[in-house]
Structure 1
Amino acid sequence: MTQHLTWGILGASGFARKITAPAIHAARRTHLKSIATRDPSKAVPFEDLVPGLRVESSYDAILADPEIDAVYIPLPNALHTEWSLKAAEAGKHVLCEKPIGLTTDDLDQLIAAREATGRLIAEAWMPAHHPQWQRTRALIAEGAIGRLHHVTGTFTYALGETPNIRLSQALGGGGLRDIGVYPIGAFRLATGLEPEPLHLDMEREEGVDTKTWVAARAGEVRFDFHVSMRAARYQHMMFHGTEGTLSLPAPFNPGVYGEARIIIAREGADVQVIRYPGIDQYVAQVEAVAAHVLDGEGFACPLEFSRGTQAVLDAIFDRAEG
């Protein structure tokens, strides 16, 4: 059995250039061999990163390469399911940007393809691979803040005024699909609960959501979150229990937005701060793919988890349309 994974990238997106390609290059037991783009000039920064990188003019050329074990897909949202299916059917393991599908029906297709092909198909939801979230889940489960009462989450950024695929309805744009998956997924990962949206306030531009406030409930636990592409950059998650609070000031992009920390405050006790310096969750994500494929280790963000988050998004969109 091969002891490393050889990767190809379908598309020279800015995110792939700045974040994921460097992560693949830095990760252990991985090798970035190829990138596919119709514009050779977009491949230049990737070639600077990986001397000898092969540049293909079509995605199919990468899928046809027998030396490629895994592909990373950073295409527009509306193409994620299509090319994930094509890649798996071509015998490649798949790490696809979020959202990997636009509906739960898409996720069901992907799960069926994973079972039929025996290939990993996974959404690139990187918080699942960061130890701050693994510790958060354990702390809540062991009652570190008592019985959970209320959870709040926020993820916002200011989208520029230039044309942007995040404002394209045809390409699956919108704030919920771009960043709503983070507070929803974080709530589900940390608590093991499935929230039901009860009330929402949504603002749209060009047919896609740009600002959304959601009030949800999972049994006795309330969950309120806000995402926006038209507000100053900010992110935070807070878990409020009967005996204290647990908060994460850089829950989704630690290292880029701020230091990964878990802050636990209990009445009558010193505030406890657990720090995670120097961890690159994107490298951890790529290494988790290698560990799953090469060693048979479990994967922290299987499609079933992604489907659960998509089910919440589907319910939000249904309520918005209703």
Structure 2
Amino acid sequence: MTDIRWGILGAAKFARQHLAPAIHAARQSRLAVLGTSDPAKAAPFRAIESTMRVVDSYDAVLADPEVDAVYIPLPNTLHVEWTRKALEAGKHVLCEKPIAMRADEIDALIALRDQTGLVAAEAYMIVHHPQWQQVRDWVQGGAIGDLLRVNATFTYDNSGDPANIRNTVDLGGGSLPDIGVYTLGCTRFVTGQEPERILYADIRRENGVEVTTEALAQFDGFTLTSLTSMRMTPHQNVTFHGSAGVIEVVTGFNPQVHGHAEVRLALPGQPTQIVQFPGVNHYVLQIEAFGAAVRGEPAYPCPLEFSQGTQAFIDMIWGAEK
């Protein structure tokens, strides 16, 4: 297999802005088919890839013999269903996060992945960015001594967009499903550890939708404070505070959109070491890593088991609500 021929289920805004351009830019990948019943929504995708074909249903994408892999940017509550359908149709699957609403839902997807021998993964792009690989090397290499505390914040404000699916209970809305995967998952990725228990969880809702969550989690030797919100000024920052230094990730989750990719290592009595990553696109790196896994090259660096661990963490926070 040379180029991976991609199909996209639905003309979602995120797919239009980020993943379709990434597929187009990635090596050995091609956007082949878009499933949408609205020709007007297909036009921006055709501007990205003029040879792309449009079919009028998701099932038609899955039935297309010229599609090797599908990207699923559907509402959260549809992710498990369409990931299953795509695997059963013989397609490799990259599904938007969260791939499931509960950790136990991922068991069946792991079993189906193993049964079919196909690649199935959550589109958790930050682990492909070299800034997070640098932070992981620093922390696990002892650059800041013993890790004592992580503070992770990711906020934005969509209060003016009540029709947004993130503000809809029935579609799996909420800040934890949308961006909690980043504050919680990045901590697991960097440290290689799992949370032991939730010490505190303040969950705030509007019209039944969780809009802000602040949680304190105990790990082995350190704590994580995670703040996610869909009702606060846009901001993101992560710090890893150790016994011998501090690491700061300035724009950890969507560099080139919110800010630039930069990590800082501050050690007492030394100049702060600053590492920047201009021009790095983690969506392109994600597509290239997925294609490599499909071709039997290095294994995909973010398997479903990792995604299940993050969802289990979210489930723990839900369970700790007062």
Name the TM tier (shorter chain): over 0.9
Aligned 8 A contact 2:159 2:230 in 1: no
| SS of residue paired to 1:295 | coil
Aligned 8 A contact 1:4 1:294 in 2: no
1:5 to partner: Cα distance: 0.4
Task: Indicate the residue corresponding to 1:199 in structure 2.
Answer: 200
Q: How does 1:111-260 map to 2 (within 5 A)?
A: 111-162=110-161, 163-195=163-195, 196-260=197-261
Task: Indicate the residue corresponding to 1:287 in structure 2.
Answer: 288
Task: Indicate the residue corresponding to 2:265 in structure 1.
Answer: 264
* Runs of 4+ more than 4 Å apart: none
Q: CA–CA distance in 1 between the matches of 2:45 and 2:63?
A: 21
1:295 to partner: Cα distance: 3.5
Task: Indicate the residue corresponding to 2:96 in structure 1.
Answer: 97
Q: Deviation string for 1:26-66 (max 9, x for gaps)?
A: 10000111100121111111111111211111001110111
Q: CA–CA distance in 1 between the matches of 2:319 and 2:148?
A: 27
Aligned 8 A contact 2:79 2:95 in 1: yes
Alignment-mate amino acid for residue 108 of structure 1? D
Percent identity, aligned pairs only?
49
- The unaligned stretches of length 5 or more in structure 2 are none
Q: CA–CA distance in 2 between the matches of 1:262 and 1:14?
A: 29
Q: CA–CA distance in 2 between the matches of 1:185 and 1:177?
A: 12
Q: CA–CA distance in 1 between the matches of 2:228 and 2:297?
A: 36
Q: CA–CA distance in 1 between the matches of 2:111 and 2:245?
A: 42
1:296 to partner: Cα distance: 2.6
Alignment-mate amino acid for residue 130 of structure 1? H
- The unaligned stretches of length 5 or more in structure 1 are none
Matched residues, number: 320
| SS of residue paired to 2:153 | strand
Task: Indicate the residue corresponding to 1:55 in structure 2.
Answer: 54
Q: Deviation string for 1:104-154 (max 9, x for gaps)?
A: 121111101101111111000100100111111111111101110100000
1:160 to partner: Cα distance: 4.1
Aligned 8 A contact 2:126 2:282 in 1: yes
Task: Indicate the residue corresponding to 1:319 in structure 2.
Answer: 320
Q: CA–CA distance in 1 between the matches of 2:261 and 2:252?
A: 7
Task: Indicate the residue corresponding to 1:4 in structure 2.
Answer: 3
- 1:33 maps to 2:26: no
Q: CA–CA distance in 1 between the matches of 2:140 and 2:299?
A: 20
Q: CA–CA distance in 1 between the matches of 2:94 and 2:5?
A: 13
TM-score w.r.t. the length of structure 1 is 0.98
Aligned 8 A contact 2:102 2:311 in 1: yes
- 1:64 maps to 2:63: yes
**Greater shift in the superposed pair: 188-197 or 19-28:** 188-197
Q: CA–CA distance in 2 between the matches of 1:21 and 1:206?
A: 33
| SS of residue paired to 2:111 | helix
Alignment-mate amino acid for residue 185 of structure 1? G
1:309 to partner: Cα distance: 0.2
Q: CA–CA distance in 2 between the matches of 1:170 and 1:259?
A: 34
Q: CA–CA distance in 2 between the matches of 1:198 and 1:303?
A: 27
Q: CA–CA distance in 1 between the matches of 2:254 and 2:289?
A: 18
| SS of residue paired to 1:170 | helix
| SS of residue paired to 2:256 | coil
Alignment-mate amino acid for residue 192 of structure 2? G
Q: CA–CA distance in 2 between the matches of 1:237 and 1:298?
A: 28
Alignment-mate amino acid for residue 191 of structure 1? T
